[in-house]
Amino acid sequence: HRHLTGIEGLEPHEITFLLDEAETWVEANRTRAAPDRRLAGFTQINAFFENSTRTLLSFEIAGKRLGADTVNMHAAQSSVKKGETLIDTAQTLNAMRADVIVIRHMSSGAVRLIADKVDCPVLNAGDGRHEHPTQALLDALTIRRRLGGIAHKRVVICGDLLHSRVARSNILALTALAAEVRVCAPSTLMPPAIERFGVTAFTDFDRAMEGADVVMMLRLQTERMAGGYVPSSREYHLRYGLTLERLAKHAPGALIMHPGPMNRGVEIDSAVADHVEQSAITEQVQMGVAVRMACLDVLTRRARGVEGWA
């Protein structure tokens, strides 16, 4: 693979390969051991057409820890605001001879479009409702490290599935790695025919949570709901909010995950998000740096004359 535009199209062994590569960076990141400058002389452009805290910063930190020169383009301060098209923007980035481009965009498929126009590897940092592959990889790595494996673990993904690229990439990655995936949402936020992805769909959160090993909560993406039904926060919290009481009753001991940003008191209570033993939310962010180092390294191997994918 020249690019990482999604989990779709990756074989289970390729996902495992990326997780194994990421694993090699976890300890080095924790101890800040001897710097590794394998991307020295490489220019990494992070082009973000949508807001981000975790993904942008961790891609930048990942590139810097590998010695790359990282440059950030924020759409709000770019000529996109003057009406420049996506293809013209892609050609401009290409003309600057980037060695790797990381893109976040509000339109599903925009990353693929740019990938087809440039000469260097492109990594998807989230495109519309489509995919957020590095998020799924960091989630899988977090589960694997905490639970010792992914196969046959019962993972419940609850929230705004309709608008969630995180859910889509996670469903693809976790089912490929043989997890039992349950999805839960109000019917207005459940994508049609989601069972075709090999998951079981629920509208009752309590039933969905029974016996879960992992409960992954998603934010209501109100910015993608224009013209559609927007549930009230109070009503949503009552039926789909993860509280300590709900957790203790239906999935005591389950690992608690959230990709962030969280809306505390809506989809997740603070007492759950900050749960000392069970919450893996901070760990997810830590794994994000390791996963992004692995992806930057693997995708630039061909250009460095090193053997690429497994």
How near is the Cβ of 286 to ligand CP at its closest, in Å?
Answer: 13
Query: By the 8 A CB rule, do 125 and 103 touch?
Result: yes
82 annotated as ligand-binding: yes
How near is the Cβ of 124 to ligand CP at its closest, in Å?
Answer: 11
C-alpha angle 90/136/150, rounded to 5°?
A: 155
Q: Is 221 an interacting residue with respect to ligand CP (CB under 6 A)?
A: no
How near is the Cβ of 296 to ligand CP at its closest, in Å?
Answer: 16
Q: Is 117 an interacting residue with respect to ligand CP (CB under 6 A)?
A: no
Report the helix count and the strand count for the chain, using DSSP H and E.
11, 9
Q: Is 38 an interacting residue with respect to ligand CP (CB under 6 A)?
A: no
Work out whether the CA dihedral 23, 25, 31, 33 comes out positive or negative.
positive
Please enumerate in sequence order all residues whose Cβ is within 8 A of that of 94, keeping only pairs 6 or more positions apart, or say none. Answer: 117, 118, 119, 120
Q: Is 54 an interacting residue with respect to ligand CP (CB under 6 A)?
A: yes
Among 146, 260, 262, 263, binds ligand CP (CB under 6 A): 260
Which of these, 62, 47, 170, lies nearest to 111 by C-alpha position?
Answer: 47
Among 259, 266, 280, 293, binds ligand CP (CB under 6 A): 259
> Which residue number places its CB atom closest to ligand CP?
55
Among 55, 70, 164, 170, binds ligand CP (CB under 6 A): 55
For residue 261, whether the previous peptide bond is cis, meaning omega lies within 30 degrees of 0, is yes
Nearer to ligand CP, 161 or 202 (CB): 161
Question: What residues make contact with ligand CP under the rule CB under 6 A?
Answer: 52-55, 126, 135, 259-261
